[in-house]
Structure 1
Amino acid sequence: MKKDIEIKYDIELNRRLKELPDFATDFILSLEDSTSIRTRIAYCKDLSIYLRFILNEVIINPTKDIVGLSVDDIRDIEEKDIRNFLSYLNDYTVEYVSTGGNMVKQSYSNSQQGKNRKIATLRTLYSYLLRHYGLTDPTKYINIKINEKVEIKNSLDGKEIDELVKIILSDLSGVSERQKLFHKKLKYRNANIILLLSYTGIRVSELVSLDIPDIDIDAGTFVITRKGGDQEIAYLPEEIIFHLRDYLEQRKSILDVNLPYRNALFLSNRKSRLSERQINTMLDKYASIVGLTKVTPHTLRRSFGMALYNQTGDIQLTADSLGHSTTETTRRYYAKPNEERKKKILGKFAYSQE
């Protein structure tokens, strides 16, 4: 993982740990050798929501805050409390002080997948509390629901991706001069972001961590830092290499970049490493111009995975290219034959004669 991103995650984790009670902090720290820092940050978020619920809905003790909770405060939590927590996740409101010092209220809701993740977090927590404090696990008989019927979400075909890139590389009309200048300054960066996401299938987190030295144009390869920090070499399709070569020359010409981000492949307008949120905002903008429904980085990753599988029929190759540890996720979410492939194969189907 790149140094500036590591620092960012360390700061985020330390901030969240300070908002948790001692037993929860000790639990998170115990996971350091077995989980990535992003996973530990996600655990902190889940525990903060759970402990806020316990404090406000179960204990109902206005004299305490989350940091002041002890193991004894949650010792009597029962299965019914966990079920009430799952109901609470359907629609809840959080009140907090913004960076500007204002009191803000924000409403949230969780899908079944979000609930499943929080139950998985709590099971890991209570396994730790059982070993160290003898607490029983109130989640033991809570079943995690798995939706066997997978709905394949939207993806783009090659023509739609080409249209998206074409719009970005062209000069926009019907906008202000300031917007035109802004667009012209960043269009090659934005086009290459879309090309890399849709022609290599990398995750947006992997894309924002790319550095200039990670790209070897002559060899047609690049280095991906996968989830957990492992690195691997991936291949660049010839179709995008000439675009990326031009962009690299342009990127290397930007000299006045802050030291932590000097090697970052994709920079924001303020010359820091581009964030995942900024990429989502950019995709929303251009998808709207083209007239496409919501396009996210994962839409482009899904488009790549489905197209690769349909062209090759190779589930293992598709899983490896997407960075999946097993083929099961690939099979459930990406390995859906399109109509052209089904027609080609089934039109020639016959029972073998032995």
Structure 2
Amino acid sequence: MPERDTAAGSALGEAVRAYLGHLAVERGLAANTLTAYRRDLRRYAQVQADRGRTAVAEITEDDVRAFLTGLRDGDAGHPPLSAGSAARALVAVRGLHRFALREGLAPRDPAADVRPPAPPRRLPKAISLEAVERLLAVAAGPGDDGAGAAARGLRDRALLELLYGSGARISEAVGLDVDDLDLAEGFARVAGKGGKARIVPIGDYARQAVDAYLVRARPELARAGRGGPALFLNARGGRLSRQGAWMVLRAAADRAGLSEVSPHTLRHSFATHLLDGGADVRVVQELLGHASVTTTQVYTLVTVRLLREVYATSHPRARDRPAG
């Protein structure tokens, strides 16, 4: 059954049409974006018509908040929306009211102080230490399968050891130049987001893997191209790309039988394992290059969840046992 549209001929409906026309002609929004705005604003106008609001000037802040609550709760004709989808609809509503105020269709903007719902905090995906060790054990591949395979295997092992040993982002690792390393002292200088540089320590396993790559593999890979300063080279002798590094990680994960692996998996595991080992959250913040400790504190939720799961399955009085 088609959705009713009793707001279509009202002054509010005319304001919605004028705003959509503005978005199409003056703002040049894409067709898909306009379709989403039209759908969200049609629902908004209908909800306000049901509340007795026939003109945009009649809508109050409480009306806007009630609409947002309705999106999250759902109704007979609509399922509840996620925080992200409700926030998207609110963007359209706020745009409508800013337009109405600017065009003199309303004396105030009732949506100005209505904030979108906060999305749920998503915990980073980390894998266990045993899974990391399994991944690193197969990083170099199953063996020699052609010219240059041994060199690429040493590179792949060095790359993954460095990612886990330093907590660097994949983009930071492939951006490293040879001169950014100080293997004698066990440090690397990485360029983080916004070009902000930081010094990260490299553990013994990563140092040994990178040293083996530099001595036994990089010269061979460099001969395929002009070499250059890049630390990690592809088969053509150029700098290994982020996509190339991701393919290295994905191939190793397949060999290790790990399914949930992303470009950030080793970085997340680095942070989680440090906190599990008792590292201070502010030290981990510095190592990860987070501007705010709030970002790093998400990892503490991961470790708390793990502690809770271990406690629930291990402590004899963690859970009530059914009477038998």
TM range (shorter): 0.5 to 0.7
- Number of aligned residues: 232
Contact kept in structure 2, 1:171 and 1:180, CA below 8 Å: no
- 1:190 has 2:156 as partner: yes
SS in 1 for 2:195: coil
Distance 1:164 1:87, change over 3 A: farther
Q: Among the aligned pairs, what percent are the same residue?
A: 22
Say which of 165, 170, 179 aligns to 1:204: 170
* CA root-mean-square deviation: 4.1
SS in 1 for 2:233: coil
The Cα of 1:87 is off from its aligned counterpart by 6.2
Mind listing any 5+ residue stretches in structure 2 that lack a counterpart? Answer: 1-19, 42-81, 103-107, 316-324
Say which of 114, 132, 135 aligns to 1:164: 135
Contact kept in structure 2, 1:306 and 1:335, CA below 8 Å: no
- 1:256 has 2:223 as partner: yes
The Cα of 1:317 is off from its aligned counterpart by 0.8
In the alignment, the residues of structure 2 paired with residue 196 and residue 334 of structure 1 have an alpha-carbon distance, to the nearest angstrom, of 23
Contact kept in structure 1, 2:166 and 2:270, CA below 8 Å: yes
Which runs of structure 2 are paired with 1:61-140 in the superposition (5 Å)?
A: 73-74=26-27, 84=37, 112=84, 140=112
Name the residue aligned to 1:268: 234
Name the residue aligned to 1:339: 307
In the alignment, the residues of structure 2 paired with residue 298 and residue 83 of structure 1 have an alpha-carbon distance, to the nearest angstrom, of 31
**What's the CA shift string for 1:259-305, capped at 9, x where partnerless?**
5x601011112222111111222222221222111312201110001
Distance 1:334 1:273, change over 3 A: farther
Match of 1:267, as an amino acid? L
- 1:291 has 2:257 as partner: yes
Match of 1:263, as an amino acid? P
Distance 1:153 1:248, change over 3 A: same
Match of 1:188, as an amino acid? L
Match of 2:223, as an amino acid? D
Distance 1:296 1:141, change over 3 A: same
In the alignment, the residues of structure 1 paired with residue 276 and residue 242 of structure 2 have an alpha-carbon distance, to the nearest angstrom, of 28
The Cα of 1:170 is off from its aligned counterpart by 5.2
In the alignment, the residues of structure 1 paired with residue 253 and residue 265 of structure 2 have an alpha-carbon distance, to the nearest angstrom, of 11
TM-score, length-normalised on structure 2?
0.59
